[in-house]
């Protein structure tokens, strides 16, 4: 099936002139992997809502790949009125990265890695933890490009339950996805604007003391449906529901 929208490439800053050059890793990906040629269209994004619609004027391939671009239009997409932060419990293997990928494609505005009590994966504060965080950040970046998003979700440093509870207190609303919750997501009151925190537990479930701490901070336990979802898919499913239930998809 042919693509209906031009591919997106990330840059540190949008060009302020009518002609620009895309270089570095993004240019190598465009020229070698996607095989973009002169006359085709692409979009430059600063990852923070700024976009530039471009036509490719010339392509240089190889290690020093570069695309010369004609900038037709610059625009800015406003952030959604309801911004969703996904507090994602650390998961074993590549399930954490899969959760970030799916949540980004579904529209998450930020991802907060959560060191839940029952998380099998453990991120230390040294090089290994930094490497794991970098993988999540790179996953969000790649998924945002794939989804043609104008904003790349920020993936912050990991937090414990106490810090997550503070984030919940400062949000307009917060929901804990819990398969045994009495209320379903469509049955709760959703904010018209502000930050909404969506808490996703680990495969082993959220510990009782963690659930108590989060509900004391103002979070509401909710369930999505009659089935139990994996930690890697729960946020994406919930984001789809929130897109329809709020103004996010308007």
What CATH number did the domain enclosing 32 receive? Answer: 2.40.240.20
Shared domain check, 213 and 111:
yes
Count up the domains in the chain and report the number. 2
pLDDT of res. 145: 96
Shared domain check, 28 and 94:
no
- Give me the domain span that covers residue 223: 82-249
d(CA 78, CA 142): 21
**199-209 average pLDDT score:** 95
Task: Please say which residue of 42, 76, 110 terminates a domain.
Answer: 76
Long-range contacts of 138-142 (CB under 8 A, 24+ apart): 139/97, 139/100, 139/101, 139/104, 140/100, 140/101, 140/104, 140/111, 141/10, 141/47, 142/101
pTM for the predicted model, two decimal places: 0.92
Is the torsion defined by CA of 8, 11, 16, 21 positive or negative?
A: negative
Task: Please say which residue of 22, 52, 76 terminates a domain.
Answer: 76
Shared domain check, 48 and 147:
no
Shared domain check, 164 and 223:
yes
Task: Return mean pLDDT, the chain.
Answer: 95
Shared domain check, 204 and 102:
yes
Residue 1 pLDDT greater than 50, yes or no? no
**176-200 average pLDDT score:** 95
**232-236 average pLDDT score:** 96
At 3, the pLDDT band (50, 70, 90 cuts) reads low
At 171, the pLDDT band (50, 70, 90 cuts) reads very high
Confirm whether 103 is domain-assigned. yes
Residue 192 pLDDT greater than 90, yes or no? yes
Shared domain check, 228 and 108:
yes
Residue 19 pLDDT greater than 60, yes or no? yes
d(CA 9, CA 34): 11
Listed in sequence order, the DSSP H helices in the chain are 24-28, 95-106, 127-146, 161-169, 208-216, 234-245
**124-149 average pLDDT score:** 94
Shared domain check, 55 and 171:
no
């Amino acid at each position: 099936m042919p693509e209906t929208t031009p591919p997106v490439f990330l840059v540190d800053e949008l060009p302020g002139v009518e002609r620009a050059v895309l270089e570095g890793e993004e240019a190598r990906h465009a020229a070698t992997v996607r095989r973009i040629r002169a006359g085709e269209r692409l979009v430059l994004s600063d990852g923070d809502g700024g976009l530039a619609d471009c036509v490719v004027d010339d392509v240089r391939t190889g290690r020093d790949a570069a695309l010369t671009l004609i900038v037709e239009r610059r625009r800015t997409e406003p952030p959604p009125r309801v911004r969703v932060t996904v507090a994602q419990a650390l998961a074993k293997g590549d399930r954490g990265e899969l959760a970030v990928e799916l949540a980004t494609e579904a529209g998450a505005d930020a991802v907060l890695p959560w060191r839940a009590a029952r998380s099998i994966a453990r991120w230390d504060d040294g090089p290994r933890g930094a490497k794991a965080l970098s993988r999540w950040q790179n996953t969000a970046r790649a998924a945002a490009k794939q989804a043609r998003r104008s904003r790349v979700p920020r993936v912050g440093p990991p937090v414990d339950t106490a810090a997550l509870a503070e984030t919940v207190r400062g949000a307009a609303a917060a929901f804990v996805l819990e398969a045994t919750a009495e209320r379903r997501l469509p049955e709760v009151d959703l904010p018209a604007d502000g930050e909404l925190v969506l808490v996703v537990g680990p495969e082993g479930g959220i510990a009782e003391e963690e659930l108590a701490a989060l509900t004391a901070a103002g979070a509401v336990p909710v369930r999505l449906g009659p089935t139990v979802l994996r930690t890697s898919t729960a946020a994406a499913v919930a984001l789809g529901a929130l897109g329809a239930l709020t103004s996010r998809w308007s």
